[in-house]
Structure formats: C-alpha cells, structure tokens
Structure 1
Amino acid sequence: MSIFIALLILSFLVFFHELGHFMVARICGVRVEVFSIGFGKKLLSWRFGQTQYALSAIPLGGYVKLKGQDDSNPKLKNYEADSYLSKSPWQRIAILLAGPFFNLFLAFLLYVAVGLLGKVSLLPVVGEVKENYPAAQAGIRAGDVIVAINGKGIKTWEELDSAVVESQGELELTLQRGQGALKENVSVRVLSIEQEAQNIFRENIVRKIIGVRSAGAVGMVHYKGLDSIIFGIDESIKASTLIAQSIIKLISGVVPSSEVGGVVSIVSVIGLASQEGLMKGEITQLLWLVALISVNLGILNLLPIPALDGGHILFNLYEVIMKKAPSENVAYYLTLCGWAVLLGLMLLGLYNDIFRLLA
C-alpha cells in the first residue's frame, strides 16, 4: 500500500512539472501533441482538443511532446506557426523554465501547509551550557528557553543556530526562566566566537558558536498567516540551496558517487514516510518530504545537460547571445551525450539503490 501511495505521489510531482510546460506552451501558442504520465506503452489515452492525454506503463516520470520538439531526433525541424521552434528564444526559455518553476512553487505551497498544520521541531531549550564559553559568561543556564533574539521571536533550535551562525556583533537573547509563578523573562547579551566544526558534507569548517547544547525537547510548532508564507519561502530557499550544494559537492568529489540515489530510493523513502505518517497521524512529515523531492526535481531539471530542461535553456541562451541557433550537428551530438550522461546517472542511482537494498 505504501509503495502504491509513493508511486501516486511521484506521479503527481511529475504531473505538476509537466503541467508547467503545458500551460506556458499553450500561452505561447505552441501545440502540445502528447501529455503523458509515465513512459512506454500507453495503457490509457484520450484526446481533448489537439492534445492526446495518456497514462503509460512505467509510472516513473512523464513528458509533454511539443510540436516541433523531438529529443529523440533533434534534426527533425518544424517551423509552422504553432511549433515550438517558431517561437522566440525567450518564449522557448519560458516554456522550459515553467516545469522546474512549478515544482519549486508546489514545494513552497507544501511548506506553507506544513507551517500552518504544524511541524514537530527541536525547541530552543538549553540543555547544557559549556564552561568558559560566551553563553556561560553571559549567565545563560540549563533549562532556559530562548524566546527571542534581537527582539525577534524564535520557535525552534534551528532558528537559534542560524541566528548565531549569521551573527554580526553581539546578540541580545530573551530567555524564559523558571516555572509557574516563578517564571520570568531575562535579557542577556552574548558575543559568539569561532570554532572548528564539520558541516553536513563532513568538511572541516569554522563556524560561530556561543557554547550551548539543546535539551532535546521537541514540540509541534505552528506558523500562522504571513509567518507561514515567510516560513514557506525560507524553507524553499534552504532546500534549493542544500540540493545545489550537494550537486556541486558530488561533482567536485566531496560527496562520493555511492550517495547518488535513483527512483527506487525515492519511492522507498516516500513509501516509508507515508506509512509512518499515516500510522502516527503526522501528515506534515509526508508533506515535508514531498516538498523536498519536488525541490529536488526542479533543481535537477535545471542542470545544463542537453537531455534536461537546463540543457535546452543553454541552447536557447546561446541563440540569444550569438544571434543564431547552434549548429544542427553540434546540437545533435550534444543531445546524444546528454542522454548518455543522464542514462549513466540513472544506472548509477539504480546500482546504488539495489546495493542498499541487498546490504
């Protein structure tokens, strides 16, 4: 059941991506010949207007086929009025960007929903104060709840950590101390120091700290009204940045190729999250993961690989700058190379997926 839900979710993400291409193509006057969810043999199809809609046998992707665009044979050209190639490079770029943009926009909506519904988060409760560090010197104690930084309220330990890392000069922390009738608000000023640490990619870095550790308290954190929109924007930016950094680290060799995952990993992770989320009633856990995967799809499709949206955008930018389209043969062989790279990455992801399952 969980695998079925995972495939439905993945198909929905692909549908939303292709819907972006479809809508902007139609706005630009390009005929969409096929809109398919899945690849391979068409199991179910129907025609509405000039477009054939289909559900295909392999539910691990999808595509829209625009008139005049054929990735399988880039040498086939069509310049009729409703053809993709008859449009200006900027219109083509808009059509290509629409898919990734729809994925990112969907992720933003999902993050807003998570903020409104509530997310289980690590609360800003101090568990340990290290001796001779800025926090101890400022009078911060174990059990203190940090409720505001420089007059701005915070709700999670992550917000506290970000504020310290990004701090410029002293921070004014508002603490909630004590329980019941003895509860009081205390204001302290603390200046962070730099210390060696490791980032999520296990690289040695220097980061700012104040010398506190979390008490491990967790709770449901809600964001209402405008705060939910700000939360959605912040999380979308953080997820996009993390995925872009991961790609760069993978190319540079910091992240090993064994970390590359394929569709099997995506389906299994979504399936596990959907099962746990439905069992515990924590639907926000599933929404959070779906938002992250939607960002992943959006960013990956912008890679400058000719078989992906990013590669086609690169060709059109070349045409804008050079005032002429790339050589037919160059575009053809670059597209073949792009498909080879993409196929290689898919096979690597599948190999790693199978290895993880057997390990």
Structure 2
Amino acid sequence: MEIAIKLSQFLLSLSILIILHELGHFIPAKLFKTRVEKFYLFFDIKYSLLKKKIGETEYGIGWLPLGGYVKISGMIDESMDTEQLAQEPQPWEFRSKPAWQRLIIMLGGVTVNFILAFIIYIGMTFFYGEKYIENESLKDGVWVTNPVVEKAGIKTGDRIVSIDGKKIERFVPAVSSNILMSNKVVVNRNGLEKEIDLPENFIGQFIDENKKNIITLRSPFVVGATDDSMNKAQLMEKDIIVSLNGIKVKYFDQAAPILEANKGKKINAIVIRNKKEIPVTIEVNNKGKLGIGLGSLTESNLEKLGYYKFTVEKYGFLESIPVGIEKGKNQLVDYWQQLKKIFNPSTGAYKGVGGFHAIYNVFPDSWSWEVFWSITALLSIMLGVMNLLPIPALDGGHVMFLLYEMISGKKPSDKFMEKAQLVGFVLLITLLLFANGNDIYKAIVGK
C-alpha cells in the first residue's frame, strides 16, 4: 500500500509538470499558427497506450514515464526528423516563423514551470499559512545527530543565529537545508556567539555519511515499543523519561552519557505516565541502552508539555501573493546555488545527483496534499532551471541559438542544428545515465 501511495504521488506530480510544460510550448505555437504534430504525456517508443488525432495534432499517452513532448513541424528536436527538413520550408513550420516567435515558443515551457511553482506557493500560503517557532524561543538550541555536522563545528544545544549573514528569525524545516548549502553559520553557544566556517566539501561529506538530518528540534525521551525489551515490565509505550539515576533529563540527547556511565546496572528513573510522575527501576544493558524503541510526540503535546510553541500565521488571499512569490523566489535562488555547487567538483555535491528513483523517494509513503504540492512546486522549479541550461536538445540550447540569431542576424544552418542536437542528446543521455547510475550505486551499497 505504501508503495502504491508513493508511486501515485510520483506519477501524478510528474504528469502535471509534463503536461503543463508541454502546454507552454503548444499554446504559443498554436497562437503563431505553427503546426503541432504530436502532444504526448510520456514517451511512445514503438507504441502508445492511448492516442487520438484531433485536427492536425495527435494527442496520446506513451508507455515510458520518463518525460513527454510536443512535436512541432519544422523544428529540429529529439525526433531528428531530417526527412521533413530536407523539403522546402512551409509557412506553418517552426523554421519559417520569425525569430521572436520561435523564442516565445521555446521559452513557453520553462515560463509555465516557474509560473506554476509561484502559483503553488501562493496557494499553499493561503490554504496552510506558515508554521514556525520563534528562533529566540529555542533557548536550549537544536539537536545534532549527524557526525559530519558535529565535526564541522555545530553542536547539540547551539541556537542557530544566522546563515551566510542572514539572521534567522523563524525556525522552520528549511533552516536545516539552508545550512547544508551555506558557507558560514553563526551559533549562540552558552550565551556566546560563535562563527563557524563550513568546509568546502561539506555537502560531499554529508552525502557520504548518508544520514538525513542536519539539525532537528531537541525531543523528550519518549518510550516507543517495549514488547521485546528487558524493561517491558517497568516501562510503557508513551512514557516520558524525565530523570535517570537522579539526574534530570529534559531531552533524549541528555540520556546517552548517563546510560553510558551505568552500563550493565539497574538504576532509578522517573517517568511521566498519564500526567503523573512515576518512579521505576530500569536495567541498562552492556551497550548503554534500555532496549526500547524511541517514540515521538505530536506538536500539540509538545506545546502542552511546554517544550515548544508553534505559531501558524494565516494570510488572506491578497496577502498570500507577495509571501508566496517570496517563497518561490527563495526556492529558485536556492536551487540555482545547488546547481553551482553540483558543477563544482570540490564540493562533492555531484554525489547527491539522483535520477527517477531519487525523485520517487522524495515523496512520503502516506498521502499529504501539503507535502505533495510542496514537492511538486520544487520539482517545477528544478524542471524549469534544468531546461534553461544552454545545452542543445534542451529548451535553453534552442534559446541560446535563437538569441545568437537575433543579435547577429545570422541563422545557424539546419545541418549545424542537427549536429548540435545530436551532441546535446548525447550529453543528456550521459547525464541521465550518471544520475540514475548514482541511484543504482546507492541501492547496491545500501546508501
């Protein structure tokens, strides 16, 4: 069932993005009276799952869910239809249209991608608002479980003050990813501010460690499953351990050194159960563990217990527009920064490049429309930026040659465009093999 939910979200998101991207090319092509021969969701290599011809255009769904396309008459694209190009240009063909019209047709797809992302962020701001914790209220700082982050200098108990010079007013999940992409972090440790320069290959180290969390909120020691535990008679699921061996334990991370110091012993503990403090005697094994699972609390319960105060700021529709646009702009800038790091080998960011399996794994195994739309908006930005790269066979490659034509007044020959398209296609296949090969490698080595 979980696989079906993830797959449904993946295919739905992919379908929305492909259809709207291709519509971005299709609509201006039709407006400029350019013939569109095919409009396909997914690739129809050899055969189609579904197809129907309406007017001059064949609409269909292919069997290979790796993308989609519109085939525009007289355009040198991935179909490499040189037979058509060998004939005299016809007035309905792409190559017969003025350069400015061809430029609009080529930019239509990425334009729709960016517009879609901004619309989603505006809609999410309106429907869900913005949930955050005032950063100043995190007096006990954050929890660091990743050894790479700890080695870089950020410790459990630090409060993040600023990232690359930008002061953190609100603590939201994005703070964690912002740290990953940053160069400098300022933390407040025991009342004193400390500036931390992150290593250039911080991202590469993080990927090698293969731990998802960068920083998280510190959590109370909540007891999870106890069925097979040596302490199942003393501890119950959802108990909150607040004292170990006479030492107060507010957060789970404070328990480890106490348990380590009492390996193989029985110690006294106090747990909160049904809102009452209950004294128990528990056993610590030779590994410094209690042999129990770690549970969790809902945000409302964390608030009731006085750990955190979550604020949800609601916006009216008109208020949501500038806030949503700002979110989209920040995400766009962040992704561009990620790309720059990926193309810089010294950062090690290229290790994190993934293919379709990586995208599939981004989706959760339970359905949440808020998460779904958030991922779809990010993927839309990624698709838009990637398509703008000046690589022949991508929209950005066509745009590059069109701008050259408009500036110089010289149109590249069809022969040159054919060769450029072939080079671009080889580059794309190489990138696709690298990205999906990364997925396979990680699966084989268990990362």
TM-score, normalised by the number of residues in structure 2 = 0.59
Change (3 A) 1:47 1:327: closer
Q: Which AA in structure 1 matches 2:171? A: W
Picking from 321, 328, 338, the partner of 1:229 is 321
Q: Which moves more between the two structures, 333-342 or 60-69? A: 333-342
Within 5 Å, give how 1:176-255 maps onto structure 2. Answer: 195-198=195-198, 202=202, 217-253=309-345, 254-255=347-348
Picking from 20, 29, 33, the partner of 1:29 is 33
Within 5 Å, give how 1:268-347 maps onto structure 2. Answer: 268-270=361-363, 273=364, 275-276=365-366, 278=367, 282-347=368-433
Q: Kindly state the Cα deviation for residue 155 of structure 1 after the two structures are TM-superposed.
A: 8.6
Q: Kindly state the Cα deviation for residue 196 of structure 1 after the two structures are TM-superposed.
A: 3.8
User: Contact 1:304–1:314 at 8 Å: present in 2 too?
Assistant: yes
Q: Which AA in structure 2 matches 1:61? A: G
Is 2:89 the partner of 1:79?
yes
Quote the Cα distance in structure 1 between the aligned partners of 2:356 and 2:308: 34
Quote the Cα distance in structure 2 between the aligned partners of 1:199 and 1:107: 32
Is 2:131 the partner of 1:121?
yes
Q: Kindly state the Cα deviation for residue 30 of structure 1 after the two structures are TM-superposed.
A: 0.8
Q: 2:107 aligns to what SS in structure 1?
A: helix
Q: Which AA in structure 1 matches 2:436? A: L
Alignment: residue pair count: 292
Quote the Cα distance in structure 2 between the aligned partners of 1:120 and 1:249: 29
User: Contact 2:40–2:69 at 8 Å: present in 1 too?
Assistant: yes
Is 2:361 the partner of 1:265?
no
Quote the Cα distance in structure 2 between the aligned partners of 1:222 and 1:202: 36
What is the CA deviation profile of residues 107-159 of structure 1, one whole-angstrom value per residue up to 9, with x for unaligned ones? Answer: 111111211121563321522289xxxxxxxxxxxxxxxxxxxxxxx994369
What is the CA deviation profile of residues 317-348 of structure 1, one whole-angstrom value per residue up to 9, with x for unaligned ones? Answer: 11111211124443222221111111011111
Q: Kindly state the Cα deviation for residue 106 of structure 1 after the two structures are TM-superposed.
A: 0.9
Quote the Cα distance in structure 1 between the aligned partners of 2:370 and 2:129: 6
Q: Which AA in structure 2 matches 1:64? A: V
Within 5 Å, give how 1:132-143 maps onto structure 2. Answer: none
User: Contact 1:100–1:299 at 8 Å: present in 2 too?
Assistant: yes
Q: Kindly state the Cα deviation for residue 225 of structure 1 after the two structures are TM-superposed.
A: 2.2
User: Contact 1:28–1:91 at 8 Å: present in 2 too?
Assistant: yes
Quote the Cα distance in structure 2 between the aligned partners of 1:74 and 1:345: 23
User: Contact 1:45–1:55 at 8 Å: present in 2 too?
Assistant: yes
Larger Rg: 2
Within 5 Å, give how 1:17-166 maps onto structure 2. Answer: 17-39=21-43, 40=45, 41-71=47-77, 72-73=79-80, 75=82, 76-77=84-85, 79-118=89-128, 121-125=131-135, 126-128=137-139, 156-157=170-171
Quote the Cα distance in structure 2 between the aligned partners of 1:355 and 1:223: 44
Q: Which AA in structure 2 matches 1:106? A: L
User: Contact 1:108–1:232 at 8 Å: present in 2 too?
Assistant: yes
Unaligned runs of 5+ in 1: 131-153, 162-192, 204-212
User: Contact 1:68–1:84 at 8 Å: present in 2 too?
Assistant: yes
Q: Kindly state the Cα deviation for residue 49 of structure 1 after the two structures are TM-superposed.
A: 1.5
Q: Kindly state the Cα deviation for residue 74 of structure 1 after the two structures are TM-superposed.
A: 6.8
Change (3 A) 1:58 1:221: farther
Q: Which moves more between the two structures, 304-313 or 220-229? A: 220-229
Q: Which AA in structure 1 matches 2:394? A: L
Q: Kindly state the Cα deviation for residue 283 of structure 1 after the two structures are TM-superposed.
A: 2.0
> What percentage of residue pairs aligned between the two structures are identical?
32
Picking from 340, 349, 355, the partner of 2:441 is 355
Change (3 A) 1:14 1:82: same
Quote the Cα distance in structure 2 between the aligned partners of 1:36 and 1:26: 16
What is the CA deviation profile of residues 13-49 of structure 1, one whole-angstrom value per residue up to 9, with x for unaligned ones? Answer: 1001001100111111111110000102211110112
Q: Kindly state the Cα deviation for residue 200 of structure 1 after the two structures are TM-superposed.
A: 10
Normalized per residue, which structure has more helix? 1
User: Contact 1:74–1:332 at 8 Å: present in 2 too?
Assistant: no
Change (3 A) 1:216 1:330: farther
Quote the Cα distance in structure 2 between the aligned partners of 1:199 and 1:297: 29
Quote the Cα distance in structure 1 between the aligned partners of 2:340 and 2:195: 25
User: Contact 1:119–1:285 at 8 Å: present in 2 too?
Assistant: no
4+ runs deviating over 6 angstroms: none
Q: Which moves more between the two structures, 60-69 or 260-269? A: 260-269
